Amino acid sequence: MEASGQAAGQAVALPRERARAGEPWAARVGRAVARGPLNILLAVLAVMWLVPTLGLLLTSLLPATAITQQGWWNVVAHPSLATWENYRAIFANSAITSALWTTVQIAVFNTVLLVVVASLAGYAFAWLDFRGRDWLFVGVIALLVVPLQVALIPIFTIYQDTGLFDTVLGLVLFHVAFGLPFGIFLMRNFFIGIPRDIMESARIDGASEWRIFTRLILPLGLPAIASLAIFQFLWTWNDLIVALTFGRNTQPLTVAIFSQTRQFGSNIELIAPASFLSLAIPLVVFLAFQRFFVQGLLAGSVK
């Protein structure tokens, strides 16, 4: 009895893993049973979500003939079927590699530009006093409801006239423009939560608005900036309709894959690895940046 009481006490103080080590096995089994239904449900959901992705991965590893004849699940039983040949092929295919490069350019540039503009605007909306600020912000919020599709044709015309059609810059600008309402909204709401005292203190310490922005707001806003960057990167990486509308030769990966679909026959051996590639890169980006999602970065600054 005493031992289990001690373990319960430890569970509060220590990380769960270590607390478990000192726990009687009966307690561990008891807890597993108690949480069983939930764990089973979560496992089922996870598998359901993963199956298509897994299928895509395994398909991309099969030779073209094997895909149509055998189905991807056979790779599980016969791992020897797997080959990297398809990947080698798409990296040798200049249409795919140049599309990948275009996607990277669009996704990176538009994300960077959006983050810069949205955080500057967010700071202004949160902390600078200027005439009409609140009305302007209401306007920004209102723009959130404008669907991107309604702008495709008018902007297509503008792009034709200005020479932005079929350029990376044109696609970047379009994505930034439609990312801004949400970006400004997110940034402003995060920045407004930064205690005013910190900024006033910096102002007294001799900081200009620009210094306050770069030395305080940006580092403190990192969680919000990371969220916005990840969202925007994913959206624009996966975009199809905008690139289809405003690009002819400027084709990102999504368009390139899309254009590989055929009514008859199949080049699944090209589509599968390219799709998986297109899916894996944002995943890596997400995993790399998710540590900036840490909460409580502001803890300890003001009581």
Partner 1 sequence: MAVVAFDAVSKVYPDGTRAVSSMDLEVGDQEFVVLVGPSGCGKTTALRMVAGLEQISEGRLRIGERVVNDVPPRDRDIAMVFQSYALYPHLSVYENIAFGLRLKKVPKDEIDRRVRQAAHVLDLEPWLKRKPRNLSGGQRQRVAMGRAIVREPAAFLMDEPLSNLDAKLRVAMRAEIARLQSELGVTTIYVTHDQVEAMTMGDRVAVMRRGVLQQVAPPQELYDRPVNVFVGGFIGSPAMNLLQGRLEDANGSGLTLRLGEQALALDRALLDARPALRGWVGRELIAGIRPEDLHDAALERDAPQDRRLRVDVQLREALGSEVIVHARIAAPPAATEQIEELTEDLGVRTLDAGSGGEAGAAETAIVGRLSPHSSVREGEAAEVAVDTRQLHFFDPETGLGIYDDTPDGRTDL
CA separation for the pair 286, 234 (Å, rounded): 9
Pick from 259, 126, 266: which is nearest to 184 by CA?
126
Q: CB of residue 59 vs partner 1: minimum separation in angstroms?
A: 46
31 vs 215, beta carbon nearer partner 1:
215
39 vs 301, beta carbon nearer partner 1:
301
95 vs 216, beta carbon nearer partner 1:
216
Q: Residues with Cβ < 8 Å from 86, sequence gap 6 or more?
A: 60, 61, 62, 63, 64, 269, 270, 272, 273
2 vs 205, beta carbon nearer partner 1:
205
SS3 269: helix
Q: CB of residue 187 vs partner 1: minimum separation in angstroms?
A: 17
Q: CB of residue 295 vs partner 1: minimum separation in angstroms?
A: 12
Pair of tokens at residue 170: 């044109």
Contacts with partner 1, residue ranges (CB under 8 A): 195, 197-198, 200-208, 211, 215-216, 219-220, 296-303
Q: CB of residue 127 vs partner 1: minimum separation in angstroms?
A: 13
Pair of tokens at residue 33: 């049973």
104 vs 198, beta carbon nearer partner 1:
198
Tell me how far CA of residue 113 lies from CA of 178, 228, 278, 283, in angstroms. 12, 12, 22, 21
**Cα angle vertex 123, ends 186, 181, to 5°?**
40
Q: CB of residue 222 vs partner 1: minimum separation in angstroms?
A: 8
Half-sphere CA count of 169, side-chain side, radius 13 A:
5
